[in-house]
Amino acid sequence: MRTGIWQLLPKETGGAQPQTCLVSSLQPLVRQLTISRQILYRRLGQMGLYARRPVRCVPLTTTHCRLRLAWSREHALWTPQQWACVMFSDESRFSLQSDSRRTFIWRAPCTRYRQENIIERHRYDGAGVLVWGGIILGSRTDLHVQIGTMTSQIYRDVILEQHVRLFRGAMGVQFVFMDDNARPHCANIVSECLQSEDITRLDWPAFSPDLNLVGHVWDMLGRRVAARQPPPTCLPELRRVYCVLSGVCLCQAVLKPSMFSSIPTENNK
């Protein structure tokens, strides 16, 4: 039996069976109905809606989507043995300021990646630290943490020379290095360094952080830092916290053979 909740739900949630609803838009309903917030949330659960954080992604053009699909199809038939030679690397900036991760939506199960449940954003500003790490089958790099911008010279002298080159020497010519198309990564001095060290680079579609297996490491690391009480209040403290927690997160994120079987499926979504 329907209650007044159905009639008062925002129009964008749909007329008969709402699929998505911002939690903030439900606050006026609590004031209009003579029920508690807990009862309202329980009724929404009975409708199949649950409070979840929305998926965040960078805005994609038609060209981006076409190139991502082409890359996924090209690598869909790669074997676990081929993926086992790939080092996935990524860098991420963590800020002292909030990233609005407190925003929740009410959505039905299995609708995480629907367009209406995704928030597009490039980045957010504010003082913070930049972290870089890489993972490969059974191993990982140390986490590099710095305050400031990642330049092409730092990327070559620190990331490639002190981290990536060591794995190339240990694995041999079958080693493949994956990084994205950030401007410092595409500089001539970086390409020359990779060529001089005979390091094969994996072609990577632009604006595709969701295809990178390192992404869940940053999510794990960010959650652990956000849970600390009291939270970091200055950059040196933030840097120290990430250095302390990074070892645990990267150890838990070391690639296992079973993970590679899901890569083509994830890329073709």
The model's pLDDT over 7-47, given as tens digits with 9 standing for 90+, comes to: 445 444 444 444 455 555 555 655 666 667 777 777 777 77
Instruction: DSSP for 139-162, please give it.
Output: EEPPPEEESS---HHHIIIIIIII
Q: Answer yes or no: is 202 within a domain.
A: yes
pLDDT at residue number 247: 62
Check whether 268 has a pLDDT greater than 70.
no
The model's pLDDT over 208-259, given as tens digits with 9 standing for 90+, comes to: 888 888 877 787 777 777 777 777 777 777 777 777 676 666 655 555 555 5
Percent of the chain with pLDDT over 70: 65
Give the confidence band of 263 by pLDDT, cuts at 50, 70, 90. Answer: low
Q: Answer yes or no: is 12 within a domain.
A: no
CA 150 to CA 160: how far, in whole Å? Answer: 13
Residues 185, 212 contacting (CB under 8 angstroms): no
pLDDT at residue number 131: 87
Q: Answer yes or no: is 268 within a domain.
A: no
pLDDT greater at residue 206 or residue 101: 206
Per the structure, the complete domain to which residue 240 belongs is given by: 79-105+122-259
The model's pLDDT over 249-260, given as tens digits with 9 standing for 90+, comes to: 665 555 555 555
pLDDT at residue number 249: 61
> Of 253, 251, 224, which is closest to residue 238 (Cα–Cα)?
224
Q: Answer yes or no: is 89 within a domain.
A: yes
Q: Answer yes or no: is 92 within a domain.
A: yes
The model's pLDDT over 120-170, given as tens digits with 9 standing for 90+, comes to: 554 545 567 888 999 998 888 988 888 778 999 999 999 999 999 999 999
Check whether 1 has a pLDDT greater than 50.
no
Taking residues 93-101, what's their average pLDDT?
62
Q: Answer yes or no: is 60 within a domain.
A: no
pLDDT at residue number 185: 96
Give the confidence band of 190 by pLDDT, cuts at 50, 70, 90. Answer: very high
CA 192 to CA 255: how far, in whole Å? Answer: 29
Question: Among 12-16, 89-93, 195-199, 239-243, whose mean pLDDT is lowest?
Answer: 12-16
pLDDT at residue number 198: 96
Q: Answer yes or no: is 58 within a domain.
A: no
Domain count, the chain: 1
Global pTM exceeds 0.75: no
Q: Answer yes or no: is 113 within a domain.
A: no
Instruction: Provide the CATH number for the domain around residue 188.
Output: 3.30.420.10
Helices (H) and strands (E) in the chain, counts: 12, 11
HSE-CB for 231 with a 13 A CA cutoff = 12
Residue 149 — φ and ψ, nearest 5°? -90, 145
The model's pLDDT over 102-114, given as tens digits with 9 standing for 90+, comes to: 566 667 777 776 7
Give the mean pLDDT of the chain. Answer: 76
218 three-state secondary structure: helix
Burial bucket for residue 167 (CB in 10 Å: 0-12, 13-18, 19+): middle
